[in-house]
Amino acid sequence: MKKSTWVLGAAALLALSVAVAGCGGGDKKAEQGVKGEVMVYTSIYPDIIDNMCKPNLAKAFPDMKVNWFQGGTEKVKTKIAGEIKANKVGADVLMVADPSYYLKLDAQGLLLPYKSKEDANVIADKDKDGAWYSVRVCNMIIAYNGDKLKAEDAPKNWTDLADPKWKGKIAMPNPLLSGTAYVSVGALADKYGWEYFDKLKANGLRVEEGNSAIQNKLLTGEYAAAIILEENILKLAATKNEPLKVSYPTDGVINIPSPIAIFKSTKNVAGSQAMVDWWLSQEGQQAVVKGWMHSVRGDVKEPIGSVETKKLVENRIKVDWQKLADNDAAIKEEFRKRVME
């Protein structure tokens, strides 16, 4: 099995501290000669696809049709599993949130190695042979309602969520359905032991199907705090002026460098490769940031309302991506038994 390293080195951290460019639209010319169709399977939210992905890609590739299948990471993985079994993978390009899944696909020989022309500019995690590149960086954080809770009273770290004062008032997304939630479970179980989730269960942790329910119940006050993606909270605060706030845990955010990859079975190699290049370009990464996610480059600023990417990376919780890839079913079953039964 090919080994992949998911750790930012000192040079990458240094690169993250350079002066960064603004997030305005680029003037990059449309790709010439890229035609046909490309099917993208992704867990990017539908509104981001409609408002950010589709118009930008239509401008970049006017002669190529880009089709989308959107679903939570686990839904996409289930679809691909069936297609692999039938020897008929429908996706050309994959963009889902669980990095460990790419290690598994690569070990199965299903990904097409491609050294992007933007390779040198990607300072986040990437495969040495180009089988995948981090294309967007998400962070799992703690969120709270600023109208109902003062910043000084909000949970400051992950272990604070086990405090009895939050009993029955905490929530998280379902790791059986969400790739980022799955990564969070694996990371926190490694850092604090499975007993951490026993404590959360005893403290009344609720597991919601998705982020929308959590956001709504934070707004109504049903939940005081929740484990959730940073991008959800930043977007609500900026676009709808909602009072939801981010608490960046002092013991480290769970940093998820979600990749992009091309399936070896693609019928449009040139189109798929051009799409990877575009997403990793400065223009593509500015679009990522407008979707409230962090860039994988050092010359694109963090999303509005966030803190400097470098600071989050420096203090992130260590994640064993290979362990998550090798023990997917066992980790999910352990969580289900401890928390959901």
**What are the domain boundaries of the chain?**
10-137+255-314, 139-254+325-340
The whole-model pTM stands at 0.88
**Residues ≥6 apart with Cβ < 8 Å to 255:** 137, 138, 139, 312, 313, 316, 317, 319
Q: Which residues pair with 247 in a beta bridge?
A: 142
- Return the pLDDT at 212: 84
Cα separation, 298 vs 18, whole angstroms: 7
**Strand-pair category, 244-247 with 225-229:** unpaired
- The dihedrals phi and psi of 141, each to the nearest 5 degrees, come to -135, -175
Q: What is the CATH number of domain 139-254+325-340?
A: 3.40.190.10
335, 197 Cβ separation under 8 angstroms: yes
Question: Which pLDDT tens digit goes with each residue over 254-278?
Answer: 999 999 999 999 999 999 999 999 9
Judge whether residue 205 has pLDDT over 90: yes
- Return the pLDDT at 234: 96
111, 215 Cβ separation under 8 angstroms: no
- Return the pLDDT at 33: 73
What is the number of helices (H) and of strands (E) in the chain? 14, 9
Question: Which pLDDT tens digit goes with each residue over 16-27?
Answer: 443 333 333 334
* Band of residue 211 on the pLDDT scale cut at 50, 70, 90: confident
Judge whether residue 44 has pLDDT over 50: yes
Question: Which pLDDT tens digit goes with each residue over 105-163?
Answer: 999 999 999 999 999 999 999 999 999 999 999 999 999 999 999 999 999 999 999 99
Looking at CATH, the fold of the domain delimited by 10-137+255-314 is given as: D-Maltodextrin-Binding Protein; domain 2 (3.40.190)
Among candidate residues 111, 51, 64, the one with its CA nearest the CA of residue 275:
64
**Strand-pair category, 133-145 with 254-262:** antiparallel
Question: Mean pLDDT throughout 56-72?
Answer: 96
* 222, two tokens: 């049903």
